[in-house]
Chains A and B, each alone.
Chain A
Amino acid sequence: MRRDIIEIRWHGRGGQGAITAAKIVAKATFETGFPGVVMVPTFGTERRGAPVFTSLKLSRDRIYDLSPIEHPDIIVVLDHMLLEESDIIKGLKPGGLIVVNTPRPPQAYNFNGMVVAAADVTHLANKAGLPQGVVNSGIIGAFAKASKLTDMDTLIKAIEEEFIGRKPKENARAAIETYEYTVIGGL
């Protein structure tokens, strides 16, 4: 019910790292002007591969409501197949943004006036030196380009800190590459 909160819902599969991606963005946006930030994962009985989501809320003021996001401004989708499996864009505000890891161009999607930012993160991250299927660092680049909520320098730093000892440079490069190749469109 508060209008000052930017609400971003992250959808992925169990084990895909949606929570880690949202955590990295939380840390970066906190540094670049959102002292009110909370990231609230929703836990069910999911196992690896099952659809999962987490709620990231940003504000200049303190956030008290930790309930899951019902009406997001932005939806981030780590696996485009989720768009077909269930109604994950449910509640997205009119004119909202969908950031999606997909091999298809944004024109391939029609979400009634929603903006679609598309990037083949799976391919780009692999090209950056990450194992096949690791997309949670790469998707952050697409998010940054489409949302303009934080700058890439801060994100790169946050990514490298998060992945210390786990290919920090490659993860950062995946985000940079994805930023470069993200196409924004939509009908």
Chain B
Amino acid sequence: MQMIESGNVAAALGVKLSRAQVIAAYPITPQTPLTEKLSEFIEAGDMSAEYIPVESEHSALAVCIASSSAGARSFTATSANGLLYMHEQIHWASGARLPIVMCVVNRGVGAPWTVWNDHQDSMSQRDTGWIQIYANDHQQIIDAVIKAYALAEEVMIPVMVCYDGYLLSHTYMPFDIPDVSLADSFLPPYKPAYCLDPGEPANLNTVTLPDVRDDINGNRAHGYFEIRHLLQQDMIASMDALERIDSRFKTVFGRGGNPFIESYRTDDAEFIAVGIGSLSYHLRDVVDNLRDEGISVGGMSIQLYRPFPYSAVAEALKGCRGIIVFEKALSYGYQGPVCSDIKSALYQHGRQNSHRPFVLNYILGLGGREIVTKDLYDALKLSCTTGPDAPDELRWIGLKI
């Protein structure tokens, strides 16, 4: 069924269709309407879940860690400083290998205080061991939430579904709501291999020694080092799992097919503009304009950011002349995090071949600074025409200083 609603409602409907059993959240702009909608679903009896109000984001995720450990499908959502307040528990959730799904409604980080969109909040959490998926529109939000549970429960790694605050969370656009019975067949109830049982008390994630040792049954138990190695191995392997899940989703619902990156007019493109979230779709209009002028340019969205789909990215970009990365986040003192990751993915290819595309990095939209289409057009056009000779330095769009 098609409907026109906000991105936050799309996310809430995805959580409802996923039949999450425990929701714990603390309101923060621009996430608030999402969790309000979930509480309404539960209050009205449209959704059978336990809604646990908490006094902070740290507690919200702590509750989800507990409920997920007890075998319940668990959900939370937050933004910006709320996400950062969870930070310690974010590491814990992935270390404990709990299949929690969290929506991050992307917002700039204070200080100074801001409520508007950029990607600094979730980007700063990229090294926590969570899978990160970014949605470009409402359809991708609702679909991603359902796929995220399938993925998290298969690989036992928590997933963040990230989408732009205001630009997507508060914008209305059409999207299709998956049929409930199809959603049920796609995502059956969560059956944990192990969960807490009051009849058999256990300690989970207690002090783990640097080296391996035998457990009380005489079996070799992992040390911390091995446990962390397995997280990395499973993160990499989760890309195959996501590809299978996405393909299965496409068979059932007819949508998907781009779990890692989504390309637009890149087949013969000499230059490729890369972005994340709604910005990557905004770039499509600019690509069309430049194509009309005879400039051979395409666009690319990064859909999966952690694990970083390095092979797909390198394969898609290695043949072009130049890559222009537009980012709403910054690793202060260096460059945009996606730009660094793209360069890293291309390094091996560049070593084996004499050809290596130039990479330019633009920072824009931090703290909700308006992204003007004409500015994107000017920046991309300039990059395509003068890129190879341009100095390797960070460029800021719309800076008034």
Q: Do the two chains bind?
A: yes
Let me know if B371 is at the binding interface, CB within 8 A. Answer: yes
Query: Is A90 located at the chain interface by the 8 A CB criterion?
Result: no
Within B372-387, the residues touching A (CB, 8 Å) are 372-374, 377
Contacts of B278 in A (CB 8 A): 66
Task: Mark B105-117 against chain A: 1 for CB-CB distance below 8 A, else 0.
Answer: 0000000000110
Q: How far is the CA of A30 from the CA of B371 in the complex (A)?
A: 26
CB of B275, distance to nearest CB on chain A (Å): 11
Minimum C-beta distance from B95 to chain A (A): 37
Q: Which B residues are CB-close (under 8 A) to A35?
A: 174
B247-286 interface (Cβ within 8 A of A): 278, 281-282, 284-286
Instruction: Give A residues with C-beta under 8 Å from B.
Output: 1-2, 23, 26-27, 30, 35, 37-41, 43, 63-68, 70
* Bound: A93/B58 CA distance, A: 50
Stretch at the interface among B38-46, B163-171, B190-198: B163-171
CB distance from A75 to the nearest CB of B (A): 19
Distance from B167 Cβ to chain A, minimum over Cβ atoms (Å): 5
Does more than half of chain A's interface fall in helix, strand or loop, or is it mixed? loop
Q: Take A1-B285, A2-B285 as given contacts and tell me if A67 and B171 are in contact as well, using a CB distance cutoff of 8 Å.
A: no
Roughly how many angstroms separate A64 CA and B288 CA in the complex, as a whole number?
Answer: 11
- With contacts A2-B285, A65-B373, A66-B278 taken as known, whether A26 is within 8 angstroms of B166 at the C-beta atoms is no
A71 to nearest B CB, angstroms?
11
Q: How far is the CB of B293 from chain A (nearest CB, A)?
A: 11
The answer to whether B167 touches A40, judged by C-beta atoms less than 8 angstroms apart, is: yes
Are A43's CB and B282's CB within 8 A?
no
Contact for B372 among A23, A37, A38, A67, CB less than 8 A: A67
Which listed residue, A2, A41, A67, touches B371 by the CB 8 Å rule?
A67
B1-46 at interface with A (beta carbon < 8 Å): 2, 4
Shortest distance between the CB of A87 and any CB in chain B (Å):
17
Bin chain B's interface residue count.
20 to 34
7 contacts between A and B (CB under 8 A): A1-B286, A2-B288, A38-B171, A38-B173, A43-B170, A65-B282, A68-B370
Is there contact, CB below 8 Å, between B4 and A37?
yes
- Asked if A67 and B370 sit within 8 Å, CB to CB, the answer is yes
When chains A and B are docked, how far (Å) is the Cα of A2 from the Cα of B289? 8
B172 in contact with A38 (CB, 8 Å)? yes
Which one, A1, A30, A40, contacts B171 given CB within 8 A? A40
B27 → chain A, closest Cβ, in Å? 16
Query: Are A37 and B166 in contact, CB atoms less than 8 angstroms apart?
Result: no
B4: which of A2, A27, A41, A63 is its contact (CB, 8 Å)?
A27
Among the listed B2, B4, B116, B285, which residue makes an inter-chain contact with A65, where contact means beta carbons less than 8 Å apart? Answer: B285
Report whether B370 and A41 are in contact in the complex, using a CB–CB cutoff of 8 Å: no
Instruction: Knowing A30-B4, A30-B174, say if A1 contacts B289 (CB, 8 Å).
Output: yes
5 tightest CB-CB pairs across the interface, nearest first?
A: A39-B172, A64-B281, A38-B173, A40-B171, A64-B284
- Given A37-B4, A67-B282: A1 and B373 interface contact (C-beta under 8 Å): yes
Q: Which residues of B contact A38 (CB under 8 A)?
A: 171-173
The residues of B that contact A39 with a CB separation of less than 8 Å are 4, 171-173
A40 CA to B4 CA, complexed, in Å: 12
Known contacts A23-B4, A27-B4, A38-B171; A43/B166 CB under 8 A: yes
The residues of A that contact B172 with a CB separation of less than 8 Å are 23, 26, 38-40
Complexed CA–CA distance, A70 and B372 (Å): 9
- In the complex, are the beta carbons of A37 and B173 less than 8 A apart? yes
Q: Specify which of A1, A23, A27, A40 is in contact with B377 (CB 8 Å cutoff).
A: A1
The answer to whether A67 touches B373, judged by C-beta atoms less than 8 angstroms apart, is yes
C-alpha gap A42/B389 in the complex (Å): 38
Chain A residues near B281 (CB-CB < 8 A): 64, 66
User: In the complex, what's the smallest C-beta–C-beta distance from B326 to chain A, in angstroms?
Assistant: 14
Contact of A26 among B4, B167, B285, B372 (CB under 8 A): B4
* B115: A residues at CB distance < 8 A: 43
Cα-based distance from A1 to B284 in the complex (angstroms): 12
A28 CA / B209 CA spacing, docked (Å): 63
User: Which residues of B have CB within 8 Å of A65?
Assistant: 282, 285, 373
Known: A37-B174, A40-B172, A41-B170. 5 other contacts (CB 8 A): A1-B289, A27-B4, A40-B171, A65-B282, A66-B281
B273-309 interface bits toward A, Cβ cutoff 8 Å, 1 = contact, 0 = none: 0000010011011101100000000000000000000
